[in-house]
Amino acid sequence: MASAAAERGTSFRSRAQSALKRAAGATDRFRVLPAGVVVLAYHRVGGRSDAREIDLPESRFDEQMACVARWREPVDLDAALVALQSPDAGAESERVVVTFDDGTADFVDVVLPILERHRVPVTLYIATDYIECARPFPDGGTPLSWAGVREALSTGLVTIGSHTHSHALLDRVSADTAKLELRRSIDLVFERTGVIPEHFAYPKALPGDGAVDDVVRNLFRSAAVAGTRANVYGDTDPYRLARSPIQRSDGMHYFERKLTGGLRLEDDVRRLMNRVRYLGATS
């Protein structure tokens, strides 16, 4: 009985998700998609965890990176931030930034070889407590080791950013707590790798209040939030970088729509749902 109920629940979520993607795609036809830098947000690749929707098949990720390398200009986050300062940068190319959250072992074992093959740079936002303590991520995600982080850095394709220390949700902590979280993350990355992380991604894409925002702006050069859309040239706050989350259910059709900055409605709905979903959570 419990298994049948779970299957019905999964089927309902899948249908609802498909309907939302179709609605978002239809909405895109009635608006102009502005030129800008599209930032893609990934979590895991290879099907090793229970986080099915954010754990992509290896072959699918390979196909997506081939698409990015062939039809767009994949750039690192630093180059993207420079381009975003100019209103005229859009005439040059269609830039894409690839990012990953958390810091799970599949990043080195599965993701990195694909990125190296296609020569696609990447920013990896790590939650340092999981790596430092070898603590599993939710849904069975195995954390990277510090040796793995250093191996990733040695490729020259990887920029390490912060995802807080304990994956704390910064919209529900004080500025002092946020500062402790972020300083601990920065210090650990430097101690273990010799690199100072200059970029930050808010866990669950939930930014904090004004005081927390000030802390983030004082410690980093950029901060990523939600927003399935392009970051517009000459009109983007680097501390509110929009990222397009890539899901297993996107397939290639909706992935290609997200590459153009599409499917904003999907993200708008997801953010509203997440505010309720994570109401009592702290990380």
CA distances to 96, 213, 221, 222 from 80, in Å? 8, 21, 12, 11
229 in Cβ contact with 40 (< 8 Å)? no
Assess whether pLDDT exceeds 60 at residue 4.
no
**Is residue 196 a part of any domain in this protein?**
yes
Q: pLDDT class for 279, splitting at 50, 70, 90?
A: low
Assess whether pLDDT exceeds 60 at residue 24.
no
- Find the mean pLDDT for residues 35-49: 94
Higher pLDDT, 210 or 5: 210
Interval 170-194: pLDDT, tens? 999 999 999 999 999 999 999 999 9
**Is residue 34 a part of any domain in this protein?**
yes
**Is residue 283 a part of any domain in this protein?**
no
Token pair in block for residue 115? 């990125």
**Is residue 282 a part of any domain in this protein?**
no
Kindly report the CATH number assigned to the domain that includes residue 112. 3.20.20.370
Q: pLDDT class for 5, splitting at 50, 70, 90?
A: very low
Could you give the number of structural domains in the chain? 1
Assess whether pLDDT exceeds 80 at residue 278.
no
Q: Percentage of the chain surpassing pLDDT 90? A: 73
Interval 121-136: pLDDT, tens? 999 999 999 999 999 9
Q: Which residues constitute the domain of residue 263?
A: 2-277
248, 17, 201, 206 alpha-carbon torsion, rounded to 10°: -160
Interval 255-265: pLDDT, tens? 999 999 887 77
